[in-house]
Structure 1
Amino acid sequence: MCYQVRIGIWEAGAYGVSESRKHAFIWAASPEETPPEWPEPMHVFAGPELKMSLNGKNHFTTIRSTSTGAPFHAITVRDTIGDLPAVKNGASTTTMEYNDEPVSWLQKKIRGDTLALTDHISKEMNELNLIRCQRIPRRPGADWRDLPDQKVWAWEASSAI
C-alpha cells in the first residue's frame, strides 16, 4: 500500500506522567502526506535510552533520555497524589474531606475548588500482600524489587498487622 510508517516508543515519565511506563506508537501516512514530528519530551526522567535494531544491523534510538536535562522537572507520585488522606486496608468511605492543603501545582490543578474527595477507597488485600506492601522501603523509586529476600510465614503475617 506504500504507506510511510513511523514507530516510536515513549517513556511516559518524560511527558509528565508520574510513573515509568513505555508506550509504543505507530504512525502511518499515505505517500503524499508528511507525517508529523514526535513531540519533544518535556520532563526530566532518569530512564535510559531505549535502542532498537533492525535485522541486527541498523540501531536507532526510540526514546531520547531526558536524564541530563529537560524544561521541566520530573513529576513524582508525591506531586500527583501526596495530598490524599491515608486509607486503611479495605476502606470504603465514598466521600471524605482533605486533611491538608495541596502542596504541588498539580494537586492544586487536580483539586480545583473541591473540598471533598470522592471514591478514595482501597481494595482489601490478603495478609501476605499487606505484609509485602508494608515491607517496601518508604523512599522515592522503591518498589517490589526492594523487598527483602526472605520468606514470610503465616504466624509472622498475623502478628505484623
Structure 2
Amino acid sequence: MSLMDMANMKAVDLFCGAGGISTGLASAGFEIVAGIDIEAKFLASFKHNFPETLALNENVLDFSPAEFGKRIGIEPAELTLLAGGPPCQGFSKNVPRKYRYLEDPKNLLVKRFLDYCEHLRPKLVLMENVAEMKNGFGGQYTSEVVHRLEAAGYSVTHAVLNAADYGVPQRRRRAFFLADREGVALRVPHPTHLPSKSALPLTGEQGHVSVWDAIGDLPPVRHGEGQAVTNYATAPFSAYQKLVRNAGGSVKNHVARPLQPTQYERLASIGPGQGHADLPKHLQVKGGYSGAYGRLTKDMVAPTITRWVFHPGSGRFGHPVDVRTLTIREIARIQGFPDSFEFVGSFTQQAGQLGNAVPPLLAQRVVEDLLRQLAAQSASSTSVRRSNEIFSSSAGNLKLIA
C-alpha cells in the first residue's frame, strides 16, 4: 500500500455491534464506510456514534457479498480494509466441550466473513475471534481461514493477542487474523505495554494499565445512583485517563445499577480482591462462576469483561472502593472505549454491547502497527527503485564516455 493510499483509507466493519473495531479504526485514520449487524439493539449505539456511516441491520447469511458491495457503493478491490469479529459462541470456552462441534451453525459466520473477503478483495483484512477459535477442533478453522485467504492472493499472519499488552486495562485474549494483498509479509504487532515495569528503561514500553489508572478519576457513586452527565472527580493522574477523556470535562453513562438487598449485603461483606469464597456462610450461593461476587483491586488488571458484567454473581466486577458493580462508563474505560463514545439502550443492553465488543484501543494499536509496516515497506521499495534508476542512469553515462 502506497503512502498515497494511506491518505484515503476506507474500512467496512462486519458484525460491527456497538462499534468497537470501528472506533479503533477511526482513531487510526480510517473512514468507516459501513457497518452491518443482525442485532438492532447493539447497532443502535453504532448509529448513534457514527451518524454519517451507513448502518445495516441485516443477517450476513441472507445478504450476499455482491449485494452488500452494491449497497455500500464499493467495487471489488476498492476497499482498504475489511474488518470483523464473527460471533463466536460455537468456539467459546463458556460452552461445555461436549456441546462444541465443528459444523455448529454458530461457527458458519467465520466462513461467511471469508466469502466477503473473496468478493470485496480489500487490501487488508482484520478478523478477530475468541482465543479458542485459533486451535479449536484441531486447528481446522485456522487452516481454512489461512488457505482461503492465501488462495485469494493474501499473505496471512495470525496470533492470540492479550489486550493488556496493548494498553487496555483488561486481560482479554483474542485470536487475530491479519492479511495483506500487497505482498507484504506482515508480522504480529509488537506489544506496547509489558507486565513488569522492570524492563522499561531498556525497552521503552509502558507497564500494564491498572484498574485505578483506568477509572480512578471518575466520581464515586452509590448503587442505583448517578447522573446522565457528570463531571470528572479529579484531574487526570494517568496517561490512560489523558488518552480517553473528553476535552469538555464531563462524561456520560456513569450510572450504577441498583443491587438487590442480598447482592448489596454480599459485596458489602467483603473487601477489594475478595470474592465468593470470602463471603459469610449464610451469604454464599451454590455453584456459579469462580469469580462470583468478586471485587476488583485498584492495582490489578481487570479480568475479561463479559456481557454479564452487570450481574455481581457473574464474575469479579465489584468496584474496588464503592459497594456496587461497575457503571457502563467504567466498563467502557476497561474495554478501551474513549469517553466520547456514548452507549444507548437499557443497562443490560449496554452491558451486552460492551461484553461483545472488540476493545477499540486494541484494534487501533494493531492496525497502526500494520500501517507502519506497510509504510516502511513502501519507503523501502521506493528507495530500491530510486537506487536502480540511479544505477541505470550511471551505467548509460559510462557507455557514452567509452
Q: CA deviation at 1:84?
A: 0.5
Cα distance in structure 2, aligned partners of 1:2 and 1:100: 49
Aligned to 2:187: 37
Cα distance in structure 2, aligned partners of 1:143 and 1:27: 39
Aligned to 1:152: 283
Cα distance in structure 1, aligned partners of 2:216 and 2:186: 36
Paired positions, count: 130
Q: CA deviation at 1:88?
A: 1.1
Structure 1 residues without counterparts, runs of 5 or longer? 47-65, 154-161
Aligned to 1:10: 161
Name whichever structure is richer in helix by fraction: 2
Contact preservation (8 Å) 1:83, 1:101: yes
Structure whose alpha-carbon radius of gyration is higher: 2
Cα distance in structure 1, aligned partners of 2:269 and 2:157: 43
Aligned to 1:90: 224
Structure 1 range deviating more: 15-24 or 94-103: 94-103
Cα RMSD (Å) of the superposition?
3.2
Alignment of 1:51-62 (within 5 A): none
Kindly provide the CA deviation profile for residues 90-109 of structure 1, in whole angstroms up to 9, marking residues without a partner as x.
11411222332221122233
Aligned to 1:122: 256
State percent identity of aligned pairs. 25
Partner secondary structure for residue 169 of structure 2: coil
What letter matches 2:165 in structure 1? A
Query: Which residue of the other structure, out of 207, 212, 215, is the alignment partner of 1:73?
Result: 207
Query: Which residue of the other structure, out of 133, 137, 141, is the alignment partner of 2:267?
Result: 133
What letter matches 2:283 in structure 1? V
Contact preservation (8 Å) 1:44, 1:67: no
Change (3 A) 1:126 1:40: same
Cα distance in structure 2, aligned partners of 1:135 and 1:93: 27
Structure 2 residues without counterparts, runs of 5 or longer? 1-147, 285-402
Contact preservation (8 Å) 1:132, 1:147: no
Name whichever structure is richer in strand by fraction: 1
Structure 1 range deviating more: 33-42 or 67-76: 67-76
Structure 1 range deviating more: 6-15 or 114-123: 114-123
Contact preservation (8 Å) 1:95, 1:120: yes
Query: Which residue of the other structure, out of 247, 250, 253, is the alignment partner of 1:113?
Result: 247
Say yes or no: does 1:23 pair with 2:174: yes
Give the alignment's TM-score, normalised by structure 1: 0.63
Cα distance in structure 1, aligned partners of 2:254 and 2:186: 40
What letter matches 2:160 in structure 1? I
Aligned to 1:50: none
Cα distance in structure 2, aligned partners of 1:102 and 1:37: 35
Change (3 A) 1:135 1:27: farther
Q: CA deviation at 1:126?
A: 2.0
Cα distance in structure 2, aligned partners of 1:82 and 1:125: 22
Change (3 A) 1:136 1:72: farther
Q: CA deviation at 1:122?
A: 1.3
